[in-house]
Amino acid sequence: MPPSDPSRRWLGGAPRLWLACALLLTLALAILSLFVGVGTVTPSRLWSGGEGDQALQLLLVSRIPRTLAILLAGASLAIAGLVMQTIVRNRFVEPSTAGTTESASLGFLAVTLLAPGWPVMAKMGVGALFAFAGTALFLRILRFVPLRDAMLVPLVGLMLGGVIGAVTSFLAYRFGLLPSLLAWTMGDFSGVLRGRYELLWLGLVAALLAYGMADRFTVAGMGRDVATSLGLSHESVVTLGLALVSTIAAVTLVSVGAIPFLGLVVPNLVSLLVGDNMRVTVPWVAVLGALFVLVCDILGRVLRYPYEIPIGTMVGLVGSAVFLVLILRGRHA
């Protein structure tokens, strides 16, 4: 991934102060998220008797798990996008533009058909294996494609994802699982309850591992020759990065569905803010990823109140628009 021009960064000095402000804003919106929804939950009602017990139950069973799922999914998916962009050295790559999400959906569908009685953790593992294989296939295809334009990389990924998605849709149609497939592929936090989001903590663990490996990913992103000359096993680092990305994609898909373009938008915005040093950008990407999903989720709950716009639709709408802006910006740069 080519470095950004320091003179074009939006933030000058004191980036840690700005990061603290973003973190405080995320915390404030997370608290606000606890009180937004059809069910009435207010501080006064929580302290009252009778109805207060119902409000407390709603808070503990639904609102707190949903808010935690938003934060975990947003942070981990944004970091997954950053890792992919660093490894592939292209700013327009992320799980939804590299066939990773579609491959995870195919894996989840396959294990649902062949072993429906398996626990969710086992299904998630199969989805992660398929996501890893799909992403590895994407990287293999890139080796045989003359990439004269950086825009060709996400186009190859989108076409690969389209083929895999078509196969998945056909199998789902053939075996009467189209409604289930739609539920998996459409990101939605409305069904998040206590006991149904905890797998997302695995995504956070993967994100923390990515932060610990930030320097190695940065070196691997410079190319095989540079990494080898510095004593780094390029294949091992890339394999680990793909494993982390695949785990995050599978965990998110199983827990809340697919959230497109998140891993593309946030790392590119962070690059404009603070540059491309991955050790510096990972905290920014995590915080802004969580903040971005949180804002989209709150808007989805209030724009058509009492109905709700799924988070996949909200993030996809904003993300696709930003994706087009980045493409046009890249062509005119």
| Residue 39 banded pLDDT, cuts 50, 70, 90 | confident
Q: State the pTM of this model.
A: 0.85
Three-state helix/strand/coil letters over the chain = CCCCCHHHCCCCCCHHHHHHHHHHHHHHHHHHHCCCCCCCCCHHHHHCCCHHHHHHHHHHHHHHHHHHHHHHHHHHHHHHHHHHHHHHCCCCCCHHHCCHHHHHHHHHHHHHHHCCCCCHHHHHHHHHHHHHHHHHHHHHHHHCCCCCCCCHHHHHHHHHHHHHHHHHHHHHHHCCCHHHHHHHHCCCCCCCCCCCCCCHHHHHHHHHHHHHCHHHHHHHCCCHHHHHHCCCCHHHHHHHHHHHHHHHHHHHHHHHCCCCCHHHHHHHHHHHHHCCCHHHHHHHHHHHHHHHHHHHHHHHHHCCCCCCCCHHHHHHHHHHHHHHHHHHHHHHC
- Whether 12 maps to a domain, the answer reads no
Are the C-beta atoms of 304 and 38 separated by less than 8 Å? Answer: no
How do residues 184-238 score in pLDDT, each as one tens digit?
778 788 878 887 788 888 888 888 888 888 888 888 877 788 888 878 787 888 8
- Whether 1 maps to a domain, the answer reads no
Are the C-beta atoms of 127 and 108 separated by less than 8 Å? Answer: yes
The predicted pLDDT at position 8 comes to 44
Structure tokens at 59: 């808070």
How do residues 100-155 score in pLDDT, each as one tens digit?
888 999 998 999 899 888 888 888 888 889 999 998 898 888 888 776 666 788 88
- Whether 7 maps to a domain, the answer reads no
- Whether 2 maps to a domain, the answer reads no
In this structure, which amino acid lies at residue 313?
T
**298: pLDDT strictly greater than 50:** yes
- Whether 11 maps to a domain, the answer reads no
Domain count across the chain = 1
221: domain CATH number is 1.10.3470.10
Domain that holds residue 219: 23-332
- Whether 10 maps to a domain, the answer reads no
The structure tokens 């294989």 sit at 133
- Whether 319 maps to a domain, the answer reads yes
Q: Distance between CA 249 and CA 78 in Å, rounded?
A: 11
Mean pLDDT of 50-59: 72
